[in-house]
Amino acid sequence: MSRTSARLRWVVVCLLLFVAPMLQAQNWQDRFELSVLAGGMITDDAVRLDGHAELISLARSFGPEHVVEFELGQDRLDFGVDYGLTHDFAAVNYLQVNREPLWDPYILIGAGISRFEAPAAIRSGEDPFLQVGLGGQWDLLESGKLKLRADLRFRYDFNDTGQPGQDGFGDAIFTVGLSLPFGSD
């Protein structure tokens, strides 16, 4: 078993233990959502756009307020000079949703594992990360079968290689994209 799969299993187990009491709701819905998001990143202590991120996720609703989401993503940090630092990551997120008539704001809490590839002396590695965020969804169709989704996350990785973007601070990630709900309501 590789270090990545062992860490990812540990992250999934911990998050499910945290979320399990909330999933005991009597009013479960068999509703899923597929989301595709893209956006920009501000890394560490720099206040400038340093790169971009793309995410794809599959989420399941457990009642109107509780959502568990599995996401895969990649980001590329170039710092304006084509530096070439990339992260491939997988995460499990819990979303606490406040259903409103015009939009659905949410709080996101998640954990995952990322693998980085860098052009500097430390070429690659794997690290766990935690993330928290705020976001919302808006219906684009009256039927609710297509939604606009946007969120702002803070991702803290446990990587401290001393390279740009790898010094143990966090990244701010803003994404926007589309969500396709399917299943019964």
pTM of this prediction? 0.78
In a domain, 149, yes or no: yes
Q: How many domains does the chain have?
A: 1
The pLDDT of residue 147 is above 90:
yes
Of 64, 157, 158, 156, give the one whose Cα is nearest residue 106.
Answer: 64
pLDDT digits (tens, 9 = 90+) for 69-112: 999 999 887 765 666 678 899 999 999 999 888 899 999 999 99
- Any domain includes 103: yes
Q: Report the alpha-carbon distance of residue 85 to residue 165 in Å, rounded.
A: 8
Q: Tell me if 111 is assigned to some domain.
A: yes
Kindly report the CATH number assigned to the domain that includes residue 68: 2.40.160.20
Mean of pLDDT values over 130-145: 93
**Contact yes or no for 177/38 (Cβ under 8 A):** yes
| Residue range of the domain that includes 164 | 3-19+35-183
Q: Helix (H, G, I), strand (E, B), or coil: what is residue 128?
A: strand
| Of 113, 150, 149, 153, the residue nearest 131 (C-alpha) | 153
